[in-house]
Amino acid sequence: MPDDPKAYAADHPAIAPYVEALLAPEDAVLAEIRARSAAAGLPDIAVGPFDGRHLEVIARSAGAKRMIEVGTLGGYSAVCLARALPDDGHLHTFELEAAHAQVARESLRLAGVLDKVTIHVGPALERLADVEADGPFDLVFLDADKAGYPDYLAWAEQHVRPGGTLLADNVFRKPRGREMADVIHAFNERLAHSGLWRATFLPLEDGLAFAVRL
């Protein structure tokens, strides 16, 4: 129903340019991060400008002080999340690749938020144990390897406080192969039906899961 004014995903071609003109969500700091990440050879898979703003506003609205990000890349989304932190807040972000983490460190420094962020290098599932004592957490953002999503969700179930927020990117992505589609679908099913979360799925870019821990 393309003419349904209450359609789930608002894909009218005029909307993006309208909001772009209104907000200019990618400021000079974020534009520099995107350009420097590309120049360093990082894959072009950071959140887009609109989702960057969505992350910041959701995190501010949640009043999150203790945050986790899984999948740092060049630090684009980490800067968006860190901008939402109060002075005494902290973000732990996890990245497998040392080269990505190095770009991210520079991004966080240039954005003036490096003192509020710790980058942990290595497989997130192993490194997350290092920060458990700092929990429970107010907000977790998942955006790393999709195969790991079910394990990251299990971790979040243990370490997000009641009332805390879970965000997960790319939950509508057509993953490579049937197996990955099944993994993401199982993640979405568990988020929707475990009874541990009140979940919704925002039709942004390729899908942002947004849930509150019950």
Rule CB under 6 A: say whether 45 interacts with ligand SAH.
yes
Would you say 172 or 192 has its CB closer to Mg ion?
172
Rule CB under 6 A: say whether 145 interacts with ligand SAH.
yes
**What mask of x and - would describe binding to Mg ion in positions 160 to 179, judged by CB under 5 A?**
---------xx---------
Instruction: Give the Cα separation of 84 and 69 in Å (integer).
Output: 13
* Beta bridge partner(s), residue 202: 208
Would you say 56 or 143 has its CB closer to ligand SAH?
143
Rule CB under 6 A: say whether 205 interacts with ligand SAH.
no
Instruction: Give the Cα separation of 208 and 33 in Å (integer).
Output: 22
Rule CB under 6 A: say whether 143 interacts with ligand SAH.
yes
Minimal CA–CA distance to 159: which of 84, 118, 213?
213
Rule CB under 5 A: say whether 93 interacts with Mg ion.
no
From 69-77, 110-118, 153-161, 198-206, span contacting ligand SAH (CB under 6 A): 69-77
Rule CB under 6 A: say whether 142 interacts with ligand SAH.
no
**What mask of x and - would describe binding to Mg ion in positions 99 to 138, judged by CB under 5 A?**
----------------------------------------
Residue type, 50: F
- Residue 95 interacts with which of Mg ion, ligand SAH, none, CB < 5 to 8 Å by class: ligand SAH
- List residues binding Mg ion (CB under 5 A): 143, 169-170
Residues that bind ligand SAH (CB under 6 A): 45-47, 71, 73, 76-77, 94-97, 100, 123-124, 143-145, 148
